[in-house]
Amino acid sequence: EDQVTQSPEALRLQEGESSSLNCSYTVSGLRGLFWYRQDPGKGPEFLFTLYSAGEEKEKERLKATLTKKESFLHITAPKPEDSATYLCAVQGSGGSNYKLTFGKGTLLTVNP
Amino acid sequence: KAGVTQTPRYLIKTRGQQVTLSCSPISGHRSVSWYQQTPGQGLQFLFEYFSETQRNKGNFPGRFSGRQFSNSRSEMNVSTLELGDSALYLCASSIDGTAEAFFGQGTRLTVV
């Protein structure tokens, strides 16, 4: 069974203070690892897809990286508008697997 | 390009009643998945449909069911509602179920 663990559960940063969020996973063959951002009362917003170890993707102040066991979401010089819950999900390649398995998320708060 | 549309946004139902939620995917997307989100369990997979066929089902009781129409729109139904069914129900659409999934804003269901 696919499993995803995210840490820390909550992170509080000062504006401009860079940090990283962790996503550890176990899956029988990785089809893709996905990062989402979710604001309160809204649906998750797609950020990145990573497919293989060593892959990196960037978008504004966010950079996602992938190894065989974990992924990191690096946030450089965050702003208050980056405050949200960041979710990590995996999709395994075994059989007819079309579901995403999510972690519980990291609640990021960026103070001005 | 229109996103994923879920209706209604909010619902209040009484225990024992049934409810039907609707999801219109992004144009051209043929895969629709449903997830239940609660504070304690996070996002949990309910089921996935592609071309009117259910390909995956999560570990939920038979009271939870769904279907997909020929235009890719999907509905999910919950019968004999229980208090524990109170949650945010999210629909996600994807081109084929293996590419990135885009979520709707969700339907907030409250069972009293």
Q: pLDDT tens across A36-75, in order?
A: 999 999 999 999 999 999 999 999 999 999 999 999 999 9
Q: What is the mean pLDDT of residues A9-37?
A: 96
Find, in chain B, the residue whose alpha carbon is nearest to that of A48: B100
User: How many other CB atoms sit within 10 Å of the CB of residue B53?
Assistant: 8
Q: How far is A15 from chain B (nearest CA, A)?
A: 27
Contact of B68 with chain A, judged by CB distance below 8 Å, is answered with no
pLDDT, mean of residues A12-18: 98
The three-state secondary structure class of B21 is strand
Is residue A104 very low, low, confident or very high in pLDDT (cuts 50, 70, 90)? very high
Residue among A42, A49, A99 minimizing CB distance to B100 = A49
| Most B CBs within 10 Å, among A23, A38, A99, A107, to test the B interface | A99
Question: Looking at the predicted structure, is the pLDDT value of residue B58 above 90?
Answer: yes
Could you read off the pLDDT of B86-101 as tens digits, one per residue? 999 999 999 998 889 9
For residues A80-99, average pLDDT: 92
- Is residue B25 reached through a cis peptide bond, with omega within 30 degrees of 0 on the bond before it? no
Query: How close, in Å, is residue A50 to chain B by CA atoms?
Result: 10
Confidence band (pLDDT; 50, 70, 90) for B72? Answer: very high
Measure the CA angle with vertex A21, ends A19 and A26; round to 5°.
Answer: 155
Q: Which of A43, A100, A101 lies nearest to residue B104, judging by beta carbons?
A: A43
Minimal Cα distance from A30: which residue of B?
Answer: B98
Quickly count: other Cβ atoms within 10 Å of residue A56's Cβ: 12
Chain B positions touching A41 (Cβ under 8 A) are 108
* Cα torsion angle, A44, A45, A49, A54, sign: negative
Binned at pLDDT 50, 70 and 90, residue A10 comes out as very high
Contact B103 A34 (CB under 8 A): no
Averaged pLDDT score across all residues of chain A: 96
Q: How far apart are CA B60 and CA B96, in angstroms?
A: 23
DSSP state for residue A18 in the 8-state scheme: -
Pairwise CB contact (< 8 Å): A98 & B102:
no
Instruction: Give the mean model confidence (pLDDT) for residues B1-29.
Output: 96
Q: Three-class SS of residue B37?
A: strand
pLDDT mean over A72-87: 98
DSSP letter (8 states) at residue A82: G
Contacts of A51 in chain B (CB under 8 A): none
| pLDDT for B1 | 65
pLDDT at B105: 97
Contact of B85 with chain A, judged by CB distance below 8 Å, is answered with no
Whether residue A96 is predicted with pLDDT greater than 80 in this model: the reply is no
Please, are residues B51 and B41 in contact by the beta-carbon 8 Å criterion? no
| pLDDT at residue A94 tops 90 | no
Task: Give the tokens for residue A60.
Answer: 């504004």
Is there a contact between A71 and A65 (Cβ–Cβ < 8 Å)? yes
**Amino acid in position B100:** E
Average pLDDT value for chain B: 96
Beta bridge partners of A86: A37, A106
Instruction: Render pLDDT for B19-41 as a digit per residue (tens, 0 to 9).
Output: 999 999 999 999 999 999 999 89
Q: State residue B2's pLDDT score.
A: 82
